[in-house]
Amino acid sequence: MDPQEEARTSRDPLERSPGVPKSQTPDEEERRGGGTAPAAAVLDAEADGASVDGLWELPVEPAKRRPECSRCSRPQKVCLCPYLPAHPLHISTHLYIIQHPAEENKVLRTVPLLAACLPQDKCKVKIGRRFSEEKDPELSTICRKSDTLILYPGAEAANLEEFILDSPIYPTTVIIIDGTWSQAKDIFYKNSLFRLPKQVQLKTSLSSQYVIRTQPTNRCLSTLECAAVALSILEKNNCIQETLLRPLQALCSFQLQHGAQIRLSKEHLLKNGLYPKPMPKNKRKLRKMELLMNSIKI
């Protein structure tokens, strides 16, 4: 059993002590809400995410959300606004976040934090799984522009940092898909619109700091982290990365102080002999695990 799954199933809702209202602890929140989207924007990140991601799609009992802060979208008691920049960052790049509908209802989301740091007209979130010319003429126009990029890893994807050195047209718009690995893959491959912009990926040494969610490998970044790295490259300003990551670090440190567990990546668990499940019998899955253990890009 996946450690994540184990943690979830072993904590039955009935274990909650009487009188403790639902969703009162971050731990509870995490269990219901899921985590971030491992935005598909880092190279070699097409790991065996499906089995992990599947957990986030399990039906959860509907629960009333606590009142949310209007700026950071966190519950008011754990508002992260003190960690956000006083004013939205000055950037010239436009971000389009294509968000899988399941992501919108997760409690621990990183996109609202990202949006809260950026000017409204520079960060647009579009929710859905299928996009077409007819349904979304605005997005369609964006995808057809020669200065639009889509951040999605793969053999076809150029390294963003190298790409901007050679490109005659400087990119002004970046599309990022926000969803689990399998959701992002579905959105990317099933919408022909997203094949139109130049495909790029990030080669970064940044390890995900979103440690309260299991990622397939240490190099899988959350949507917020992808956006932070991409923007600091495009805007040629490393402070952007620092500023955007501050609320994420605060979120993780708060969750950890309140009982959340650090979730080591599957890659780390495998390499250190800590993987708690028997190796899969399915040959394809076994091959993926072996590649992950040897850190071969898959």
Enumerate binding residues for Zn ion (CB under 5 A).
69, 71-72, 79, 81
Choose between 115 and 184: whose C-beta lies nearer to Zn ion.
Answer: 115
Query: Judged by CB, which is closer to Zn ion: 7, or 69?
Result: 69
Rounded Cα–Cα distance for residues 142 and 149 (Å): 9
- List % helix, strand, coil for the chain (3-state, nearest 5): 40, 10, 50
- Find the residue with minimal CB distance to Zn ion: 69
Q: Which is nearer to Zn ion, 69 or 196 (by Cβ)?
A: 69
To the nearest 10 degrees (0 to 180), the angle between helices 26-33 and 238-257 is 110
CB of 127 to Zn ion, least distance (A): 21
**33/197 with CB nearer Zn ion:** 33
Least spacing, CB of residue 243 vs Zn ion, in Å: 16
Element containing residue 17 per DSSP (H, E): none
Report, in Å, the least distance between residue 81 CB and Zn ion.
3
| Burial degree of 87 (CB within 10 A; 0-12, 13-18, 19+) | exposed
Q: Give the dihedral sign, CA 38/41/45/46.
A: positive
Four-residue CA torsion sign, 226, 202, 98, 129: negative
> Nearest approach, Cβ of 74 to Zn ion (angstroms)?
5
In the complex with Zn ion, the residue whose CB is nearer, 113 or 270, is: 113
Element (H, E) at 159: strand 158-159
Q: Which amino acid is at 71?
A: R
Please, what is the minimum distance in Å from the beta carbon of residue 247 to Zn ion? Answer: 9
